[in-house]
Structure 1
Amino acid sequence: MSSNATARTARRRTLRVAAAALTAAAALSLTACSGADAIGTKPAGHTGSGTADGAGSSRTGGAGSAAGAQGSETKADTKADAGAKTGTKAGAAAKQSGSAPAAGSDRAGSGVERCHTSGLKAAFATGGDAAPDPDAGGSTTTSVVLTNKGGRACKIGGFPGVDLKSVNGGERWSLARSTAKHGSITLGPGDSTDFTLNLAMTKEDKGFYQPAYADITPPNETTPITIAWPWGTLVDQRSATHPATFVNPIG
């Protein structure tokens, strides 16, 4: 082979090697670019996903807080309603337990009934110094005794009604009441109490009133107990504004 041919052959080999090297370099360059693009894309996608997750977590936390607040308000309202109902029941119970007995009730505060006419007997006290002094003028007194003849205790107090009657019953005198204060007492079976009458007695044969009977009506009753009048004459003051003969209270 001539020297020229040998030189041409060597040049062609050199060109092929150079071309192959350029091709390999280009391939590596393309591979590197593809890898860089993939790496750049992947972090971007990851960052986007992370932001979305964070936003979702924030929204979830907000909803949970709202639900928790609403639950707390509901529980508070429920407790308030329960407290209101309890207060209403307690108030109703307090109101019921503190209500006053109806007016005109036969029961006293302790649960003992008042004394009724049917359970009492009446009589003037006549023994010893119980008799009024006929010489005392308007300063004497007499007592009427009331006895519980029933089988149960009863309570009595206040002013009885006292009506004096003449022999034929035509001349009545409803005695005035004093201004004395009074309480009440409980009479067991067989127990007695009394009240007094202030009397203006007289021996004059003019301006007098001679009772024959006394109708004694216990407090808060309408039926009287009639008893005989055992004493002498009284000064007739049936029309007087402030008579000297009047009734004092029981108790």
Structure 2
Amino acid sequence: MRVHKLTFAALAVAAGLSLTACQSDDTSTGKSDPSSAPTASPASNVSSSGGSSDSGSSSQGGAKATTGTSSGGSSSGGTGTGTGTGTAAGTGSDANAKAGRCRTDELEVTATDNTIDGDANRTVVVEFKNGGGRDCTISGYAGVDLKTNAGTVSAKRTGQETTSAVLKNGKSTYFPISYPFNKSGGSGVRITGLVVTPPNETKSVTLNWPGAASLPVTDGSGTSVTVGPVGSAGQGG
């Protein structure tokens, strides 16, 4: 019995020591939590300080970015304004310097008799008036065909030098048609109409013939119908 009592006593002592150790560990652990909290607190302060530094840096960076953006915006605005002005000027310059050619549909075409007494041949002047709402370029020879009761007579070019000109909207340019007229007293070759094709165009305009009623009948050796270049006749002559 004594042995058993001693054993129980020893076990009780051991259990007490074990409990004390556990309490010591728990106490130690409990102390370590508060100690860890202060440790976390400085870390938090550092983080906060770092955040403040980042915030300050971000704020400064934002100010710089704002300044840069503002400056850039001003620069961009200046560039945009310059570009707009340059484009407008360039467009205006190009419009004057490189006007598109005059189209048939943009031209008002008329023909009038412009014969001067005593001339060996008679003259009809054709007017091209720009009614297209824009300036256009015109140069060269127009195509001219006389319709007659004997067929079509195509005018020949005089061979005069041609010049290119900008025909302002609402303005006119002229060219002459020279032709022989019938003096024989006979019927001759009756002219029934005039077909005009502006230079560099394929669309024609048919007009009433304003000149003498007929051409002389020839064997082909007589004077032919001729046409001068656009701009080689003035208003009324």
TM-score w.r.t. the length of structure 2 is: 0.51
Aligned equivalents of 2:169 and 2:188: distance in 1? Answer: 40
- 2:181 maps to 1:201: yes
CA pair 243-143 structure 1, distance change in 2 beyond 3 A: same
In structure 2, give the amino acid aligned to 1:141.
T
- Residue 123 of structure 2: aligned partner: 141
In structure 2, give the amino acid aligned to 1:149.
G
Aligned equivalents of 1:108 and 1:161: distance in 2? Answer: 27
- Residue 154 of structure 1: aligned partner: 136
| Secondary structure at the counterpart of residue 138 of structure 1 | coil
Aligned equivalents of 2:222 and 2:104: distance in 1? Answer: 29
Aligned equivalents of 1:112 and 1:241: distance in 2? Answer: 43
The Cα of 1:182 is off from its aligned counterpart by: 1.2
Aligned equivalents of 2:193 and 2:139: distance in 1? Answer: 23
- Residue 228 of structure 2: aligned partner: 248
In structure 1, give the amino acid aligned to 2:193.
Y
On the 8 A contact 1:214/1:228 being kept in 2, the answer is yes
- Residue 198 of structure 2: aligned partner: 218
| Secondary structure at the counterpart of residue 220 of structure 2 | coil
- Residue 187 of structure 1: aligned partner: 167
CA pair 108-172 structure 1, distance change in 2 beyond 3 A: farther
1:121-140 equivalences in 2 (<5 Å): 121-126=108-113, 130=114, 132-133=115-116, 136=118, 138-140=120-122
String of CA shifts for 1:13-72, please: whole Å, max 9, x gaps.
xxxxxxxxxxxxxxxxxxxxxxxxxxxxxxxxxxxxxxxxxxxxxxxxxxxxxxxxxxxx
Aligned equivalents of 1:242 and 1:224: distance in 2? Answer: 27
The Cα of 1:143 is off from its aligned counterpart by: 0.8
CA pair 241-219 structure 1, distance change in 2 beyond 3 A: farther
CA pair 204-224 structure 1, distance change in 2 beyond 3 A: same
Question: Which runs of 5 or more structure 1 residues have no equivalent in the other structure?
Answer: 1-106
On the 8 A contact 2:182/2:217 being kept in 1, the answer is no
CA pair 138-227 structure 1, distance change in 2 beyond 3 A: same
| Secondary structure at the counterpart of residue 173 of structure 2 | strand
- Residue 102 of structure 1: aligned partner: none
TM-score w.r.t. the length of structure 1 is: 0.49
Aligned equivalents of 2:211 and 2:222: distance in 1? Answer: 22
| Secondary structure at the counterpart of residue 250 of structure 1 | coil
In structure 2, give the amino acid aligned to 1:190.
G
- Residue 146 of structure 2: aligned partner: 164
Question: Which runs of 5 or more structure 2 residues have no equivalent in the other structure?
Answer: 1-93, 232-237
The Cα of 1:206 is off from its aligned counterpart by: 4.0
CA pair 246-236 structure 1, distance change in 2 beyond 3 A: farther
On the 8 A contact 2:107/2:129 being kept in 1, the answer is yes
- Residue 104 of structure 2: aligned partner: 117
CA pair 136-216 structure 1, distance change in 2 beyond 3 A: same
Larger Rg: 1
| Secondary structure at the counterpart of residue 210 of structure 1 | strand
Aligned equivalents of 1:219 and 1:181: distance in 2? Answer: 14
On the 8 A contact 1:138/1:245 being kept in 2, the answer is no
| Secondary structure at the counterpart of residue 226 of structure 1 | strand
Aligned equivalents of 2:189 and 2:178: distance in 1? Answer: 15
Q: What is the alpha-carbon root mean square deviation over aligned residues?
A: 2.7
On the 8 A contact 2:154/2:225 being kept in 1, the answer is no
Aligned equivalents of 2:187 and 2:95: distance in 1? Answer: 44
